[in-house]
Structure 1
Amino acid sequence: MKTVCACGYFVAVLAVLATARPCPAETKAQFQAAKELIAKGEFREATKLLRPEIDPSAPTTSPAAIMLEVLDRTRADFPHSEAEITKQLRESIPDVKETEIEKWRDAGALQSKQIDGEYRYFRNAAANLFRLSKEARERREKTPEEKKGFDLDRLIGELNAIAKTADTPAIYPVKHHVTYTLSLKEGNPRLKPGATVRAWLPFPQEYRIQQTDVKLLKSEPEGVVAPPKTPQRTIYFEQVVDDKGTPPKFVAEYEFTAYAYVPTLNLELVKPYDEESDEYSEFTAERAPHIVFTPEVKKLVKEIVGDETNPLKKAQLIFNWVSENIPWVSEMEYSTIPSLSKKGLAARCGDCGVQNTTFITLCRAAGVPARWQSGFGTKPDEQGMHDWAEIYVEPWGWLPADASYGKRKSDEPAVRDFFCGHMDPYRLIVNLDYGRELHPPKTSFRSEPIDFQRGEVEVDGHNLYFDEWEWDLKVKSTPPEDKKE
C-alpha cells in the first residue's frame, strides 16, 4: 500500500480539466510549470504562478482557475499537521510513538500528502487508520461500541426466499417519501440583493421495474425536473436574492417505489455476447481518466479470471477480488482525484465510488460490460450517499452489483454472494452514469464533477462549494409488511 502523497498525484490533472476552455497560448508555459510544481508538492509556488492568470471576478472555467480550485480543495481535504494527527491518535492510543505514526504513514494506512515541505494528513486519517491497520486496531485502548444497524443479511435471506416463487425479478416494493433541503449559509459575500442563485438537487430516475411511480409532491420555490433518463437527474431552481440578502433555501418533496431486484442466475444459462453490438462496444471500452486499461489492470485481470470464459463467473471473480482487496474507507473529494480506479488500485482502499469504479474497470478489461449507478442508500436510520454498478450478462441483461457492500459474512452462498447480480430495495437511483452534464448545464467547475448527490449551487455563475451551504435528506420508507390493507 502506497502513501497518498503529492508526488505523481496530479500527473493526470489535465483529465480533471477536460471540460475547461483551452488555455491561451501565452499562459501554457506558466500552466505547465505550475503542474510540475504541484507534482512535487509545491502548492504555494504553483499558486503564485496560477493566480495572475485568473480573473477573480469570472466564473471558474479556465484550466488555470480549475487547477487552483482543485489545489484549494486538496488543502481542505488534508488539514491536519503532524501535531494534530498525533493528538487525535493519542485519544485512542495514549502511548503512540512517532516511529509508529511514521510507519503507518509510509505504509499508506495513515493517509497523508506532502504539501509545501510538510506532511499534511487527510481529514479522516485517524478513523481510516483503524479500518486499514490491524496493528493499530490492536493498539487501540478502547474499541468503540458497534451500533446495531439495519439487519441487511436478514432481509437478503427473506428476499431470496420470496424470489424462489416470484414470477418477476422485481420483488418486495418499498415506498419512499423523500424531503430534500438545500440551504445556503449566512454571510456569503456573493448573496447580494438581485443576485441570481441557481441550484440543482437530486431527483429519482424512472428505472425499468426497479424504481417506479416517481412523483414530485411539491417544491419550494417551483422547480423544473430534468427529463426521464437524463444521466444525472436533477430538479433545478432559480431564485433572485431579496433586498435583505436572505440566503435562499430550496426544497423538493417527492415519492417513488423501489423494488429489490433478484433474478435467478445460473452459470449454465449464460449466453455469449454479440460483440458487434453498440452496447457491448460502449460498455467494454475505456473511458479516461476513470476507466483505463493500464498494464497493471490487464495483468491483474489475467490473474483474477485466468482462463475463465463465462462472463458471469468472470464478474463474480472480480467482485470477490475487489471485496477482499479494496476495503472501504472515507475518501477524498472526487474533484481532487484524477482517476478513481487508479486511486483504488494504487492505495488498495477507497469508498463506494472508488470500489465500484475499480470493479467496473476490471470487468470491462475482462470483456464484461459494466457501468455506473449512484444516488443514496435508504436503509432505515442509515441513509447516505452511495455508488454502485451494473454488469451486462445474457440472457438477463443489466444486473446490479455493489462491490462496496461486497461479499457478506454468511455461510449461506445466496446471502454471501447476493450483491453480485442482485440488489436490495433501499436505494434512491439518481444517476445512470458519472461525469455527465447537468440539466440545464452549470457554468462553473462543479463541486462534484464526477458524481451528483448532494447537489450543486452557483451565484451569478460562480460555484458555491460544499462548505458554503448545507443539505439534508429525510427519507420515510414503508416496506410491504408495513402497508395497511
Structure 2
Amino acid sequence: MYNDLEYLKVSLPEDILKLKSNGDFIGTIRLIDLKLKKEIPFALRKRLEIEKNIIKVIQREYPYSFEEALSIMQSNVKNFAKDELITLQEESAADWILVNGKVYFNESFYGNLLKTRPDIVKRLVDKDARLANEEREQLLIDNIKMMKEKGEVSYFIHLRTSLKIKKEYSRVNENIKVHLPLPIGYRQVKNINILKTQAKYISSHDYPQRTAFFEEKLRDDHEFSVEYTYENYLKYVNLDESKVNEIQPSFDTEEHAPHIMFTPYIKELAKELIGDETNPLIKARKIYDFITTKIMYSYMRKYFTITNIPEYAALNLKGDCGVQALLFITLCRYVGIPARWQSGLYVTPYYVGCHDWAEFYIEPYGWLFADPSFGGSAYRRGDKESWNFYFGNLDPFRMPAASEFQHEFDPPKKHLRYDPYDNQVGECEYDDYGLLREDFKVKLELIDMHQI
C-alpha cells in the first residue's frame, strides 16, 4: 500500500471529481466502488483505492460550518464582522471546502489567522496570546544575533513524547502497534540518549524516519511514551556567491512521485524565476525569495489529501512549512541544485510543535539549511536580517526525526499511515486498520533546555 502512493499522479475521472468538488463524499465513494467492480486499468484502480482513503480523512478535516466559524471569530476577536470572514474565505486565508454544497472551514482556520494576520492578533480578547507570540519571535532574533557574533551555538534538549488512544477508539486487550518519533543522529544532532521507554524496538540512530516501536495488548488508559536527550550544534555560514565552485554535484536532484515532480507548471515557474542565471547559490536564493515573499503561510489539511503538494503551493500561492519546503526542494532539484527534506519538532520553552524545513547543497559550502516558513514570517514583519538568515542557516531549536520525505518506518506499518510522508507525532494501528490522527492524543513535553 505504501508504494502505491506514486499513483496519486494519476488524475481522477471527471464524474468522481464533480462529486468530490461539491462535497458529496457519500456519492463519491459509491461511484468509486462501482468503478472498482469493473475491469479497469491497474493504475486507475490503485488511484481510486487511494482516493477512498483520502475521502475518509478529508471528511474530518473541515468541521466548522460558516456560522460556527463566525461564532469562533466573534468570541475571540473584538468587533469581528461577518463580512470579514467572507473576505478571509475569498482570499483563501481561511481554508474551506464544500460539504454537500455548503461551506465548511478547516479545523485549524482560527489558529492560522492568528499566525498570519497581525491585525487580527491585535484585536484578540486574550492579550496573553499576543504576548506569547512576541516572546517566541524575540527568542529567534536573539539567537541569530548570538550565532553571528560567536559563529556557532549549541543546545542541550530533554524531551518526552507520550501517546494515548482516545476512549472511543480504545480496544482494550487487542493487539496494537505504535510508532513514536525519535531524533536522528546526523548533521546538527549529537549525543542522543534514550532515557525511558518500554518500546519493543528502536530504529538505528541514522534511520531516515526514526521511531520507537511498541507492540502489545492495549490496556485501559495506557500511555506509550519515550523520553530522550540530545544536543544541537549549529555553525553560522556567511554565504558568498563569488566563492561558489563551477562544478556542482548531481545527487538528490531526481523526481520522487507523487509530489517531487517536474510538472509543466513547475518547469515554467522555474524558468520564470531563474531566467539566464547560472550561479547555483543565486538560483536557490531566487527560489527562496519567491516562496518567502509570494507564498502566503497557511495551515493545511493533511498532506495525504493533496495529490501534488509543491504544485498546490505554486498554484494557490499558499502553504504551511512543509508545503513551502517541498516547493523549494522541487524547484531546486529541477534547476540542478541538490535538495532534500528535514523535519520533526520545533522546540522552545514557549512552544513545542511540528515543523518542516529543507536542505540544499552548494559547493564549497556543502549542505545548507533553508526554512522558507520562518524566512517568510520574518519578511512579513519587516525583519530582513532573519529573512536572510534562514537562507543557508537554521536555529538550534529543532528535533529532526526525518531526513527523507515519504520514507517507510522501521519496522513498516501494515496499514497505510495517516501521514505517509512525514514523521512528527506518531502512528498507531490495530491488526485490521490504522488509526487517524484524531483517534489519539499526543503530548510533547520539554523537560530541560539550556545552552551548552
Partner of 1:96: 81
Sort the Cα spacing of 1:20 and 1:199 in 2 relative to 1 into closer, same or farther, 3 A: farther
Partner of 2:157: 176
Cα displacement (A) at 1:337: 1.6
Partner of 2:203: 226
Partner of 2:227: 253
Partner of 2:443: 472
Aligned counterpart for 2:67 among listed residues 68, 71, 83 = 83
Are 1:155 and 2:143 an aligned pair? yes
Say whether the 8 Å CA contact 1:17–1:67 is kept in structure 2: no
Sort the Cα spacing of 1:416 and 1:215 in 2 relative to 1 into closer, same or farther, 3 A: same
Say whether the 8 Å CA contact 2:160–2:226 is kept in structure 1: yes
Sort the Cα spacing of 1:87 and 1:391 in 2 relative to 1 into closer, same or farther, 3 A: same
Aligned counterpart for 1:211 among listed residues 176, 189, 197 = 189
Q: % of aligned pairs identical? A: 29
Map 1:65-464 onto structure 2 (within 5 A): 66-91=50-75, 92=77, 94=79, 96-97=81-82, 101-129=85-113, 137=120, 145-147=130-132, 148-150=134-136, 151-163=139-151, 171-188=152-169, 191-193=171-173, 195-208=174-187, 210-219=188-197, 221-241=198-218, 245-274=219-248, 277=250, 279=251, 283-406=252-375, 408=378, 415-464=386-435
Q: Equivalents in 2 of 1:232, 1:355: separation in Å?
A: 20
Cα displacement (A) at 1:318: 1.5
Q: Which has the larger radius of gyration?
A: 1
Greater helix fraction, Structure 1 or Structure 2 = 2
Q: Secondary structure at the match of 1:200?
A: strand
Where does structure 1 lack aligned partners over 5 or more consecutive residues? 1-13, 22-28, 55-60, 164-170
Q: Equivalents in 1 of 2:247, 2:22: separation in Å?
A: 46
Cα displacement (A) at 1:463: 0.7
Are 1:18 and 2:2 an aligned pair? no
Spell out, residue by residue over 1:66-124, the C-alpha distance to the aligned partner (whole angstroms, 9 max, x if none): 433321321211112222223234343646245x5444433323322122222222223
Cα displacement (A) at 1:460: 1.5
Q: Equivalents in 2 of 1:16, 1:321: separation in Å?
A: 32
Cα displacement (A) at 1:304: 2.4
Question: What's the Cα RMSD here?
Answer: 3.2
Where does structure 2 lack aligned partners over 5 or more consecutive residues? 37-44
- TM-score, length basis structure 1: 0.80
Q: Equivalents in 1 of 2:121, 2:192: separation in Å?
A: 48
Q: Equivalents in 1 of 2:94, 2:193: separation in Å?
A: 45
Q: Equivalents in 2 of 1:217, 1:480: separation in Å?
A: 20
Say whether the 8 Å CA contact 1:290–1:338 is kept in structure 2: yes
Q: Secondary structure at the match of 1:174?
A: strand
Q: Equivalents in 2 of 1:230, 1:187: separation in Å?
A: 34
Cα displacement (A) at 1:401: 1.2
Q: Equivalents in 2 of 1:412, 1:192: separation in Å?
A: 52
Q: Equivalents in 2 of 1:293, 1:173: separation in Å?
A: 38
Aligned length: 433
